[in-house]
Chains A and B, each alone.
Chain A
Amino acid sequence: GDSVTQMEGPVTLSEEAFLTINCTYTATGYPSLFWYVQYPGEGLQLLLKATKADDKGSNKGFEATYRKETTSFHLEKGSVQVSDSAVYFCALSDLGNTPLVFGKGTRLSVIA
C-alpha cells in the first residue's frame, strides 16, 4: 500500500538557520502531497500542498516541490523562527478516492 517516510527527529536549529525535512513516498498512482504542521496543544493544520509532478507548494516561507523522479517532497525554509517549533507531517492522498496517509512526523525545535 501507499506509504510515507520522513526523516527522524527531533531537529534542533538556531533561529535564522536553513531547514530541510526530508520526505519520500511510495504510491501506486499519482497522489497529491501535503505537509501538515501540529503546534503544541493544537490540531493539524495544512501547511502546503502539491497536486502534480514539479508543482511547488509554498506558505509562510516554507516550500516543497513534488519530485516524481525521486518520489520526494522535501520541506524547506530559508530562515526558521522560534515560532516554527512544531511537529511536521508529510502526507499523501489521491484526493478523489483515498484518505490521507501520514509519515511519523518530525519534531522541530528552534532556539533563539
Chain B
Amino acid sequence: DTGVSQNPRHKITKRGQNVTFRCDPISEHNRLYWYRQTLGQGPEFLTYFQNEAQLEKSRLLSDRFSAERPKGSFSTLEIQRTEQGDSAMYLCASARTNTEAFFGQGTRLTVV
C-alpha cells in the first residue's frame, strides 16, 4: 500500500493555459475523489468516481474543469483556460466503498 500519489506536486502556469493533474489511488480502492482547497478554507468537493463511472460532476466549478478515470485506475483533472482564481491546492482521495478516504499530498496550482 503506497498511498495516494499526486503529480505534479507544484504547477505554475500562465493565465489562459491548460493544465492537467494526475492522481494514482491506493490499489483496489474503487472510489476516487477530487477536492479543491484554498487558503484558510476546508477542502471543497469537486467530483468523484466509482471505478470508471463519474457519479457526481455538478460540483465542478465551471465547464473549464473536467475529470476522467479511464479503466477505473488513475484519474486526471484538467483545467482549461486557467484563471488566477483557479490558484489553489487540488487534492485527490481514494477509498473502498463504506470506508474512510485517504488523501494524497495535493497539487498546488499557481496561475500567474
Chain A positions within 8 Å of B, measured between CB atoms, are 4, 32, 34, 36, 42-46, 49, 89, 91, 93, 95-96, 99-105
Contact = CB atoms under 8 A, between A and B. Distances in A.
A100 B99 CA distance: 11
A34 B45 CA distance: 16
Contacts of A95: 97-100
A8 B48 CA distance: 29
B106 A43 contact: yes
Interface residues of B, number: 23
B45 A42 contact: no
A5 B66 CA distance: 29
B101 interface: yes
Nearest to B48: A99
Interface of B: 4, 33, 35, 40-45, 48, 56, 91, 93, 97-106
B106 A100 contact: no
Contact of B41 (A45, A93, A105): A105
B42 A89 contact: yes
A103 B42 CA distance: 6
A23 to B, nearest CB: 11
Given A99-B45, A101-B45, A104-B41, 5 more contacts: A89-B42, A96-B98, A99-B101, A102-B44, A104-B40
Contact of A104 (B42, B45, B91, B106): B42
B91 A43 contact: yes
B97 A96 contact: yes
Contacts of B91: 43-44
The 4 closest A-B pairs by CB, nearest first: A102-B42, A43-B105, A44-B103, A43-B103
Given A43-B104, A45-B103, A102 B97 contact: no
A59 B76 CA distance: 33
Contacts of B99: 95
A102 to B, nearest CB: 3
Contact of B45 (A36, A44, A49, A100): A100
